[in-house]
Each structure stands twice: as C-alpha cells, then as structure tokens.
C-alpha cells in the first residue's frame, strides 16, 4: 500500500494495522455484503473467513443477529480490535438496491445484473466492466423430487408447463403420485430469477400461484423431500435428501447436475454466481474479497461449500454415437478441460468470465508442460440457415481464443469448428444461442 493511499484511508476513518494489512475502520463494519441467499447462506461467510485468516486475524467466528438470513463474521487483531464483516442474504435484487442506497459495499448475486439495475447504478461506474463483475463460482439449479418419485428426466418445456400449473398430475408425465405440488424460492431470490429466465419467461409463462414459496433454500429442499408429490428447484448445494433429475433443453442430451457439466456450463440449468464491486468503491475490503474469491484458496472454499469451482482440471470424455466422428476421435486421444470460453452478447469478444478463465487455462497449460502442440481448440455455434456459415463462425470463435493463447506463448496443435452440432441448449432463445456459441479446450 502506498503512502498516498494509506493517507486517504486514514483521512476517511480507516486505521491500518500494518503496512501489509487491510485498513480497519475505527467504527462500524469493515465490509457490508448484501444480496443472494444462495451465496450469503454459507459461501459468502466462508470466503470472508478465508480472507480474515489470510489477513492474520484471530478468533474468527460467526455471530447471528436477530434478523433471519443475516450474519456477522468477526475476527480480532493481535491488539484486540474487533473486525466485523456483515452479510445480509435476502435475495440478489436486494444487493443492487443496497448498492444504490449505499447500505452495502458489495452485492452478491446468483444472476447477472439486469439492464435496469445497470442504469440505476450508473453513478457508481460500469458494473459490467471486468473489474466490477466477478464470477466467483458456478452453480447448477437442480430440479428436485421426493426420492420415491420414479421419474428420471424432464425437459425445460415440461418444466415450464409444470411450474406454470398447466401439467397438474404426475401421471401426465408418465410417473405416478396424483396431483403435483410445487415448491419455489421467493421473489427476491436470484435462484427464482434464474429459473424464471431459463425456464418460465423463455416460454411466456409465469409461476403458478399455487406454488409454496420459501426464502430459505434448505427449508425448500427439506419440504420437497418430505412430500411424495413435490417438485422444486434449488441451488446445487441444497439438494440434501431430495432426488435430482436429468434435464434436457431443446436438442441437447438430458444431463444430470454433475460437477463437470456445470463447470463447463453445458448443463442446461447451470448459472454463474457473482460479486458486483462498484468500480469507484473506496472500500479496500471489497476488492480484497473479490480477489481472494478468484484465488486458488478462494476456489477451494467454493468447492468445499458445495458449489463448482473454476479451478481448471482435465477430464476424460467417453465417445458415443451422437458425437460427430471427428469429436469421437478427439475424445479417444485427448482430455477436455473443465472450462468453456463464451462470448459477450452480440460480440466476438470474450465475456468477463472467459477473461478470468484465460489466466487459469494458461496456468494449467504451462504447469503441465503443454505449450508445444498439445492443445486443440474446438468451436461450436448456434444453428444458422447456412450450415457452412455456422461451421465458419464456430471456427472463428476458436481462432479468437487461439490468438489469446498464442500471444502468451502457446503453440497450438489444431483448431477445429463443429458448427451447430452437439448443442447444449435450445437455439430458439437468445440465452440458448449464447450457450451454444462456445469454445472447448482439449489437451494431449
């Protein structure tokens, strides 16, 4: 920390405990986090504890005030001064509201910021800039049933009709049990926003008024587990005693919410978990927490909390008859990395997560000695009227990633494009087309 920055902190009511440590406020919390219940229930507090440990604080513990879904994470300096970080978890939208009224320093969100929120918060800077929008983990919305329900898979069209109240009995789905009982998160929840966007709104449907609503993920999951006729949606760590079913979207294969499929965001109901950090923020703890969340230690905490980390690993892929021959050959001889590069909407530029992932992929390639003709990039795209155009665009996307890797000293083995083959989402909606425009990384 420079002397000039340290003086700014001191003048604004912050005390520095040492030259290397983060400054500590004389009064009140060092950091206020508001937003997603999915993040705030445990992941956010766990990341905060990791940051406090990194800062050398002692006696780190959680305190629960009288208000539900709120916590204080507390540490102590060697001099005995308490350091408090507050976490309020009442739903993603409340985080952006709190940024606007200055009652939070950092917003936790289990969905991307909306255009209306960007507009409302533009005085704080561009919250879509790479520094402001931080993907901290990947989650999958699991569709859960009572363990006794024999149903094994559903598609997103069926899900929309079920939760809109149009499909009323399990027998209509080829199962058994009589009337379907719906369970859903509350309106403030990013989990609900994600389900509404990925499933309901895409098909012009709304959640049935008969659905029982919950602020708590744990309570919703336990309620479905106890109800033989129940169905609900939940973040991956909260499946608990319920049964998750495989989900298909459009022409995609039905997929269970497995870590590998969620890490690559191929699973139809995968989603990103975010920290939103106002670029003009003068709170150093907010930036420190975002940086810690991206670190190997932070991503280990993500995995330990039940979410899917962004740590890059190689995985074997079993070839099957639904794959084009070239892809089958690749899967026999190489391994796929647990990351997909995707692109900003309406752009050939890598999105913010892809920019973060680029550094992780480069680190993996260099640590594992694969800089010399050991990497193949495979591009995919959405369906076009002209298949040749889809093939070309898919390869051009892979070439965009190639440029970044070559610039950092990687000599490629091959770049391939498979056009609109092997979709992971329906091409009938913008969200699906964006997911299908992806680049996979394979290593030999």
pLDDT of residue 415: 97
Kindly give the pairing relationship between strand 58-63 and strand 70-76: antiparallel
Identical fold, 139-262 and 312-443: no
pLDDT of residue 197: 81
Q: Which CATH architecture has domain 139-262?
A: 3-Layer(aba) Sandwich (3.40)
Q: Is the pLDDT of residue 271 over 60?
A: yes
Q: Report the 3 state secondary structure along the chain.
A: CCHHHHHHHHHCCEEECCCCCCEEECCCCCEEEEECHHHHCCHHHHHHHHHHHHCCCEEEEEECCCCCCEEEEEEECCCCCEEEEEEEECCHHHHHHHHHCCCCCEEEECCCCCHHHHHHCHHHCCCCCCCCEEEEEEEEEEEEECCCCCCCEEEHHHHHHHHCCCCCEHHHHCCCCCECEEEEECCCCHHHHHHHHHHHHHHCCCCCCCCEEECCHHHHHHHHHCCCCEEEEEEHHHCCCCEECEEECCCCCCECCCHHHHHCCCCCCEEEEEEECCCCCCCHHHHHHHHHHHCHHHHHHHHHCCCECCCCCEECCCCCCCCCHHHHHHHHHCEEEEEEEEECCCCCCECHHHHHHHHHHHHHHHHCCCCECCEEEEEECCCCCCHHHHHHHHHHHHHHHHHHHHHCCCECCEEEECCCCCCCCCCCCHHHHHHHCEEEEEEC
Longest dimension (CA), the chain: 70
Rounded CA-CA distance 352/288 in Å is: 18
Say how many CA atoms lie within 13 Å of 99 toward its Cβ: 30
Residues 35/108, Cβ–Cβ less than 8 Å: yes
pLDDT of residue 1: 36
Q: Is the pLDDT of residue 2 over 60?
A: no
Rounded CA-CA distance 167/259 in Å is: 30
Pick the residue with more confidence: 385 or 25? 25
Domain locations in the chain? 3-134+274-304, 139-262, 312-443
pLDDT of residue 346: 62
Q: Which of 243, 188, 226 is nearest to 40 (CA)?
A: 188
Q: Which numeric CATH code is attached to 3-134+274-304?
A: 3.40.190.10
Q: Is the pLDDT of residue 373 over 70?
A: yes
Q: How confident is the model at residue 347 (pLDDT cuts 50, 70, 90)?
A: low
Q: How confident is the model at residue 404 (pLDDT cuts 50, 70, 90)?
A: very high
Share of the chain above pLDDT 90, in %: 80
Residue 338 CB: number of other CB atoms within 10 A? 24
Q: How confident is the model at residue 334 (pLDDT cuts 50, 70, 90)?
A: very high
184-207 pLDDT tens trace:
999 988 899 889 988 998 899 999
77-88 pLDDT tens trace:
999 999 999 999
pLDDT of residue 236: 87
How far does Cα 416 stand from its chain's mean position? 27
CATH homologous superfamily, domain 312-443: OmpA-like domain (3.30.1330.60)
pLDDT of residue 281: 87
Range of weakest confidence among 246-260, 321-335, 365-379, 420-434: 420-434
Rounded CA-CA distance 336/228 in Å is: 39
Mean pLDDT confidence for 99-120: 96
Q: Which of 215, 207, 211, 260 is nearest to 238 (CA)?
A: 215
Please name the residues in contact with 257: beta carbons below 8 A apart, sequence gap of 6 or more. Answer: 140, 141, 142, 236, 239, 244, 247, 267, 269, 270
Q: Is the pLDDT of residue 306 over 90?
A: no
pLDDT of residue 105: 98
Q: How confident is the model at residue 425 (pLDDT cuts 50, 70, 90)?
A: confident
pLDDT of residue 64: 93
pLDDT of residue 11: 35
152-166 pLDDT tens trace:
999 999 999 999 999
pLDDT of residue 5: 37
Please name the residues in contact with 24: beta carbons below 8 A apart, sequence gap of 6 or more. Answer: 14, 15, 16, 17, 30, 77, 81, 83
Rounded CA-CA distance 396/382 in Å is: 13
Please name the residues in contact with 127: beta carbons below 8 A apart, sequence gap of 6 or more. Answer: 113, 117, 118, 121, 133, 276, 278, 279
Range of weakest confidence among 155-159, 311-315, 345-349, 407-411: 345-349
Q: Is the pLDDT of residue 13 over 60?
A: no
203-215 pLDDT tens trace:
999 999 999 999 9
Say how many CA atoms lie within 13 Å of 44 toward its Cβ: 33
Mean of per-residue pLDDT scores for the chain: 91
16-35 pLDDT tens trace:
433 358 999 988 999 999 99
Rounded CA-CA distance 391/369 in Å is: 31
pLDDT of residue 17: 39
């Amino acid at each position: 920390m420079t002397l000039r920055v340290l003086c700014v902190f001191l003048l604004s009511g912050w005390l520095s405990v040492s030259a290397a440590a983060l400054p500590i406020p004389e009064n009140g919390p060092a950091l206020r986090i508001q937003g997603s219940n999915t993040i705030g229930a445990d992941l956010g507090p766990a990341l905060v504890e990791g940051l406090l440990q990194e800062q050398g604080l002692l006696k780190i513990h959680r305190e629960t005030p009288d208000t539900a879904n709120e916590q204080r994470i507390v540490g102590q300096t060697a001099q005995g001064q308490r350091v408090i970080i507050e976490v309020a978890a009442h739903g993603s939208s409340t985080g952006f509201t709190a940024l606007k009224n200055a009652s939070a320093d950092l917003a936790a969100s289990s969905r991307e910021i909306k255009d209306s929120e960007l507009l409302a918060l533009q005085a704080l800077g561009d919250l879509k800039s790479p520094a402001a929008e931080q993907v901290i983990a990947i989650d999958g919305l699991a569709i859960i049933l009572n363990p006794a329900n024999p149903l094994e898979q559903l598609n997103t069209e069926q899900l929309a009709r079920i939760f809109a109240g149009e499909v009323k009995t399990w027998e209509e789905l080829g199962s058994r049990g009589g009337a379907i009982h719906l369970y859903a998160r509350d309106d403030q929840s990013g989990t609900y926003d994600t389900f509404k966007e990925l499933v309901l709104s895409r098909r012009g449907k709304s959640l049935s008024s008969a659905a029982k609503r919950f602020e708590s993920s744990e309570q919703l999951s336990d309620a479905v587990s106890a109800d033989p006729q129940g169905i609900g949606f939940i973040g991956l760590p909260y499946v608990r005693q319920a049964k998750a079913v495989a989900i298909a979207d459009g022409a995609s294969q039905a997929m269970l919410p497995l870590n590998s499929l969620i890490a690559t965001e191929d699973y139809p109901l995968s989603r990103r978990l975010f920290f939103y950090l106002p670029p003009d923020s003068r709170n150093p703890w907010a930036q420190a927490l975002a940086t810690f969340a991206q670190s190997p230690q932070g991503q280990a905490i993500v995995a330990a909390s039940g979410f899917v980390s962004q740590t890059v690993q190689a995985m074997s892929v079993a070839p099957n008859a639904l794959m084009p021959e070239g892809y089958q050959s690749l899967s026999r001889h190489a391994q796929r990395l647990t990351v997909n590069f995707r692109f900003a909407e309406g752009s050939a530029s890598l999105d913010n997560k892809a920019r973060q992932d680029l550094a992780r992929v480069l680190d993996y390639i260099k640590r594992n000695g694969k800089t010399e003709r050991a990497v193949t990039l495979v591009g995919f795209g959405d369906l076009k009227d002209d298949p040749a155009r889809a093939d070309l665009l898919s390869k051009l996307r892979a070439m965009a990633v190639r440029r970044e890797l070559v610039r950092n000293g990687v000599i490629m083995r091959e770049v391939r494009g498979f056009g609109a083959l092997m979709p992971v989402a329906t091409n009938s909606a913008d969200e699906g087309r964006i997911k299908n425009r992806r680049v996979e990384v394979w290593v030999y």
